[in-house]
Amino acid sequence: MRVVKHDNQHFALKVALRDHAAREASLSSLRVCESHGGMGRLYTACYRQAETGLVVERDRACVDALVRQRPTWRVYEGDAGRVFTAGLGADIAWTMLDCNPYGAPWETLEGFFGSSRAFAPCMAVAVTDGSRQKQRLGGIIYGWEPWQERYGKSLWTLYLRCCQERFAQVSAQAGYTPTWWHGQYGGQSGQMTYFAAVLRQPEDRHTDAVLPAQAR
């Protein structure tokens, strides 16, 4: 019973972060790109009123459930980092990116923001990062080398700060600047990290289809 209560507490935190980010972004149109659909709990809690949506999931049983749950959405089976890098969903300027993997989110985020695609002038992003526990060991961790050189081999105590810096760097590939950001730890011993952000582009880049600079 304690496990169920624990899971429910952290699911409530995920929902609250997504709701808060959407409010901060003042989204006039909710177009959702969800990188890890699971069994669809976040959709039920947050996205049932979305104008349109796309969801990716690797587990075939979950994909089948998502198809039944969302008959008007695009539903794909695959690895989110790879398919976003290849341009999946590039024709729509999504206003909400939901990245809720079991482990690290960074390959998915880099694939999305680093690819050639339409980008909305403003979007909300919500992320779950389950990889903080690796920082306890203090070994070299792929992708975190610049921060380990700057702050030391273990980023455990600074992980939220480092996530904020890395996310700003990743989203800048698409011309975005975070104008609101919130994050906190959770899970057993604080090994989970949850954060959300609102991203905006400069006024002179406000179009319905903005490509990353390297893709121009």
pLDDT at site 216: 27
Domains in the chain, please, with CATH? 2-201 (3.40.50.150)
Q: Which one-letter amino acid corresponds to residue 210?
A: V
For 13-59, the pLDDT digits (tens) are 999 999 999 999 999 999 999 999 999 999 999 999 999 999 999 99
Q: Is the pLDDT of residue 206 over 80?
A: no
Hey, what are 45's tokens? 């809690």
Integer Cα distance of 139 and 145 in angstroms: 10
Q: Distances from the Cα of 3 to the Cαs of 6, 40, 190, in angstroms?
A: 5, 20, 15
For residues 178 and 199, is the Cβ–Cβ distance under 8 A?
yes
pTM for the whole structure? 0.91
For 178-199, the pLDDT digits (tens) are 999 999 999 888 999 999 999 9
Cβ atoms < 10 Å from Cβ of 75: 21
Q: Which one-letter amino acid corresponds to residue 67?
A: V
